[in-house]
């Protein structure tokens, strides 16, 4: 029996088909000229899926095959590396993993994808989380030239030794000319919860690890408006969703602010709005599930659904795939691209490489949470919602405003890839 469509976000204008999404960000023009990721490999670090019933857990091969069939994409070279997690069912995937994979495949359709699984149980403590992240980076750099993470925790959660462990692995990646990308988080100006805690606002203003580390390209979130038919770019604002029952009683927004652990890196020198500390994020892309790229997910039977990608965990794989296109264009692995991106951002002649986001904020708030509220696609957690925790009081974390140039909400903004990729190939060090 053939699969049938159970829900279609395209019919309600709640998402964009991959081609429209690529047109909006200037990616389609590169693909049309053969810059499609050929010869490149993107590594996705993912939590191993717990055994469970669909649709929360599906077979990544089934989802990707359906995605390719619906949108006319070529088959991908996909491998799952299970040596760290040792999952009994390595092909099982959460919607987060499917989101990352389908976005990378859409942006860089001829790039190979390697998924490095880490144990979901490893996120139960900062010590285990930092060890797993460091191990995943070291393994990932042997598999491809771009590594993408879509999860992080507040930097206040980790000891100096744990931070140093992660930084040493990131330095090894940088030395090997491997780019590491991570989503800046969905908690706005609040840090994400620590490993082992429930999702939600922590009440601590700050940023997350990995994003705080200057060796990581941190990707924030926007809400994209493009022509629904052709995909022509129209406008963007900072992503910010008010609190409500579908978000568990707390608002979600582009993670951003200033590190308490890392000083300002040299590539951020002279950038208005950045003081003595590392500013986050560096760049941004669509993170609004109401304006996201369409994903094809099975629902546990013969049906599949098309839903919009969401969360800054959608922005990270887009940027990872974009760096793979830049690597192909340059004919070499660009490695740490942050200095080049800031050089481009500060150059008046090159300002069209980014869509500058000047509207919006990452102030977030919460109401009393419903303990049974569901986790939505894009929220960065694999912790079961039954984890006991006291209900949080209402709170507001006053964030920052988007504005001209770099800001601690959307960084330099979202990409116009047809302009940005050639500039990255020119400016990034070998």
Domain spans in the chain, listed from the N-terminal domain onward: 4-427
Q: Tell me how far CA of residue 334 lies from CA of 130, 135, 329, 339, in angstroms.
A: 26, 22, 10, 11
| Residue 370: pLDDT over 60 | no
Q: What is the rounded distance in angstroms from the CA atom of residue 363 to the CA atom of residue 347?
A: 29
Half-sphere exposure for 273 (CA within 13 Å, toward CB): 21
- 32 class by beta-carbon count within 10 Å (0-12 exposed, 13-18 middle, 19+ buried): exposed
Residue 390 Cα to chain centre, angstroms: 29
The pLDDT score that the predictor gives to residue 19 is: 96
CATH of domain 4-427: 3.40.50.200
| Residue 318: pLDDT over 50 | yes
Q: 156-205 pLDDT, tens per residue?
A: 999 999 999 999 999 999 999 999 999 999 999 999 888 877 666 677 89
Closest-CA residue to 66 (of 321, 304, 294, 314): 304
The whole model's pTM is what?
0.91
Q: What is the rounded distance in angstroms from the CA atom of residue 254 to the CA atom of residue 405?
A: 16
| DSSP 8-state secondary structure symbol assigned to residue 261 | E
Query: Across all residues in the chain, what is the average pLDDT?
Result: 88
CA torsion 50-54-60-63 (nearest 10°) is -160
| Residue 8: pLDDT over 70 | yes
Residue 31: φ, ψ to 5°: -60, -40
Helix/strand/coil for 361: strand
The pLDDT score that the predictor gives to residue 51 is: 65
| Residue 385: pLDDT over 50 | no
The pLDDT score that the predictor gives to residue 314 is: 95
Q: 96-120 pLDDT, tens per residue?
A: 899 999 999 999 999 999 999 998 7
Q: 54-76 pLDDT, tens per residue?
A: 446 778 998 999 899 999 999 99
């Amino acid at each position: 029996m053939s699969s049938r469509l159970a829900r279609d976000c395209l019919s309600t204008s709640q998402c964009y088909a991959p081609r429209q999404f690529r047109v909006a960000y200037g990616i389609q023009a590169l693909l049309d000229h053969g810059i499609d990721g050929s010869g490149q490999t993107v590594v996705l670090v993912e939590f191993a899926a717990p055994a469970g019933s669909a649709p929360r857990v599906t077979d990544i091969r089934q989802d990707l095959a359906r995605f390719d069939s619906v949108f006319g994409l070529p088959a991908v070279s996909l491998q799952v590396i299970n040596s760290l997690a040792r999952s009994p069912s390595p092909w099982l995937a959460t919607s987060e993993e499917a989101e990352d994979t389908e976005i990378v495949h859409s942006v860089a359709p001829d790039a190979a994808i390697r998924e490095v699984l880490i144990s979901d149980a490893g996120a139960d403590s900062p010590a285990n989380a930092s060890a797993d992240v460091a191990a995943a980076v070291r393994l990932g750099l042997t598999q491809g030239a771009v590594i993408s993470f879509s999860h992080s925790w507040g930097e206040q959660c980790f000891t100096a030794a744990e931070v140093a462990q992660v930084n040493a692995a990131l330095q090894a990646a940088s030395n090997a000319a491997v780019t590491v990308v991570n989503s800046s988080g969905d908690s706005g100006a609040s840090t994400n919860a620590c490993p082992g805690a429930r999702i939600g606002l922590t009440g601590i203003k700050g940023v997350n690890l990995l994003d705080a580390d200057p060796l990581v390209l941190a990707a924030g979130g926007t809400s994209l408006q493009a022509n629904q038919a052709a995909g022509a770019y129209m406008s963007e604002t900072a992503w910010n969703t008010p609190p409500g029952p579908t978000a568990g009683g707390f608002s979600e927004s582009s993670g951003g602010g200033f590190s308490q652990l890392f000083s300002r890196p040299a590539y951020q020198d002279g950038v208005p709005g950045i003081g003595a500390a590392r500013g986050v994020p560096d760049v941004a892309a669509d993170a609004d599930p109401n304006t996201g790229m369409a994903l094809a997910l099975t629902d546990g039977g013969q049906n599949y659904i098309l839903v919009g990608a969401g969360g800054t965990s959608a922005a990270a794989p887009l940027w990872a795939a974009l760096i793979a296109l830049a690597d192909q264009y340059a004919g070499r692995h660009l490695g740490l691209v942050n200095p080049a991106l800031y050089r481009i951002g500060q150059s008046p002649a090159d300002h069209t490489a980014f869509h500058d986001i000047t509207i919006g904020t990452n102030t977030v708030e919460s109401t009393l949470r419903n303990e049974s509220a569901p986790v939505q696609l894009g929220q960065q957690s694999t912790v079961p919602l039954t984890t006991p925790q006291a209900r949080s009081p209402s709170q507001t974390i006053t964030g920052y405003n988007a504005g001209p140039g770099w800001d601690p909400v959307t960084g330099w903004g979202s990409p116009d890839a047809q302009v940005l990729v050639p500039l990255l190939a020119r400016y990034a060090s070998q």
